[in-house]
Structure 1
Amino acid sequence: MDEPVGRGESAILRPSAAAQHIGVRRIVPSERWRPLIDYHWIVRWECPEPYEQQIIPQPCVHVSAELYDGQPRLLVNGITREPFIRTLAGTGHVLGVTFRPASFRAVLGADLSSVSGRVVPLGDVVGPDDSGAAAKILRVDVTDEEMVAVMESHLDLIPVVADPDADAINSLVAAAEADRSLIRAEQLADLAGLSLRTLQRQFTAYLGIGPKWVVQRFRLLDAAAAAHEGAPTDWAGLAAELGFSDQAHLTRAFTAVVGTPPATYERDA
């Protein structure tokens, strides 16, 4: 079953250009993995010339089947502050798993700070060797459903223990994503009934990143979504609504993530 398209689509920058080169599909995980996995995503591309695609990183860990040092591997992509850019060429595909924000800790069996900002083979940090599963997923003739089945079968080999604290943090991250009035980490701490310091410790352990980054990242995704709507945006008004001190503050934060000011990006996108 396909996963409905959500607000996370605004993370794909310059979507009109992307649609000319790549196709994206989301698939709902099997029942046994739904408590931990948000969705599987599959990207297929046809690029006669090298094409550079940028994604706004979000507060969740991905496991993707890709080449690593020339070999097929399942790669853990920890939450990163850095821009995420891939250069695509020829014809190819990649399968990824988007875990619920705090849920990969149950797979890793350790604090997410250990993989924060890193890309590391899954088999190097947990579980059996992943190269065989990755090779099957990257076969030229493999179907989407076969890829998902191979990925989940490999993940089934890893002992996972349910963690109710992860569910609580996932609920907080979901609230930060959905509620545009949440513009400060202190508000998220109040919602959780925790001190800001305690919330920071929990986020570091379960996400590898702090609550301030999470809140601001979702507000920047809101700004990107506004740029994709096709109508002129009142950037000063939107900056105030999203909790930035002024338009210049939004411009600096947006430029640091996207590479161009929001007004310029809106014209290009």
Structure 2
Amino acid sequence: MIDARRGVLYPARMPEFHRIAPPSAAVDLVQWFWIPQWDIDPGRTSRQHVVSYPALNLVVEPRGIELVGASTVATYRDLIGRGWAVGAMLKPAAVAALTDEPSALRDASRAFDAPDLHRDVVRAMRDGGERGRGRAVAVFSEWLIARVGALSPAARDANRAAELLMTDAEVIRDEDAATRLSVSVRTMQRLTRRYVGLSPAAMIRRRRLQEAVQRVRDHPDTDLATLAADLGYADHAHLTNDFRTVLGFTPSSYRADSGTASTL
């Protein structure tokens, strides 16, 4: 089971935020729906830092829809005024129906044309509260199910591969994942590139970094050398380099900063 708390660098800075499980008919297509809603005081900005999952997201906002590719870097968004978004963190099986080349969206996004989906989600969110969010998830799911149709065996294999790469701490190399799934390394690499746009190694690196971030934040007394060994890093320096390369700071500085105030 993927930990839904992972990926947010500074949870205390988040506005109202909901992660909602998909209905049973859409469980092969969506990991979860995420819905932030914000009302920021005039003249203020809420900066949200995220270490995203190695997955594509389809995001509906009042202004339109974006298909957001898998990310290999830390990202942030500045929230101002009042607004909302309804995002679906897609499982690989849904991706082929939305783009032919997910690798072209790596660390990028593009507008997505689906006027019926946009209309129905906007209408649902006008209801407000839990009812509106529930209706938005329902109509979003119905649209995805109709768009994707029947899943191919390869799409189901891609789902299994992504689940393993994103959740199993004992998988630290491409070969580990391929062995678990009884496929060749080449097949594993082809699946993730076709349905996620990343290599298996990149997905493993992201999972390890997310786990490291969460453990440093939630357990401030964690010994960093021990943490590095637990997560399969070569040593403490390797962990620190991963933090610095992707996030721009060290584990120690993140630990000191992770309890700071909610807005920047």
TM over 0.5: yes
- The equivalent residue for 1:220 is 209
Matched residue SS, 2:80: strand
Using the TM superposition, name which of 105-114 and 22-31 deviates more: 105-114
- The equivalent residue for 1:99 is 90
- The equivalent residue for 1:164 is 153
Measure, in 2, the Cα distance between the counterparts of 1:191 and 1:152. 31
Residue 21 of structure 2 is aligned to residue 25 of structure 1:
no
Question: 1:39 offset after TM fit, Å?
Answer: 1.6
**1:144 maps to which of 133, 150, 166:** 133
Measure, in 2, the Cα distance between the counterparts of 1:120 and 1:134. 19
- The equivalent residue for 1:185 is 174
Matched residue SS, 1:87: strand
5+ residue gaps in structure 1?
A: none
Measure, in 2, the Cα distance between the counterparts of 1:196 and 1:50. 45
- The equivalent residue for 1:44 is 37
Measure, in 2, the Cα distance between the counterparts of 1:29 and 1:138. 17
Greater fraction of residues in strand: 1
Question: 1:133 offset after TM fit, Å?
Answer: 4.0
TM-score normalised according to structure 2 size? 0.85
Residue 56 of structure 2 is aligned to residue 65 of structure 1:
no
Residue-by-residue CA offset, 1:36-64 (whole Å, 9 max, x unaligned): 11221111123221011011111211111
- The equivalent residue for 1:204 is 193
Contact 1:106-1:160 at 8 Å conserved across structures: no
Question: Which residue identity is paired with 1:82?
Answer: V
Measure, in 1, the Cα distance between the counterparts of 2:141 and 2:30. 10
5+ residue gaps in structure 2?
A: 259-264
What is the percentage of aligned positions where both structures have the same residue? 26
Question: 1:244 offset after TM fit, Å?
Answer: 1.5
What's the C-alpha RMSD, in Å, of the aligned pairs? 2.5
Using the TM superposition, name which of 7-16 and 154-163 deviates more: 154-163
Contact 2:13-2:46 at 8 Å conserved across structures: no
Question: 1:25 offset after TM fit, Å?
Answer: 1.2
Question: Which residue identity is paired with 1:76?
Answer: L
Using the TM superposition, name which of 212-221 and 185-194 deviates more: 185-194
- The equivalent residue for 2:112 is 122
Measure, in 2, the Cα distance between the counterparts of 1:91 and 1:84. 21
Contact 1:73-1:130 at 8 Å conserved across structures: no
Structure number with higher relative contact order (C-alpha < 8 Å, ≥ 6 residues apart): 2
- The equivalent residue for 1:16 is 12
Aligned pairs, number: 254
Question: Which residue identity is paired with 2:33?
Answer: H
Contact 1:251-1:262 at 8 Å conserved across structures: yes
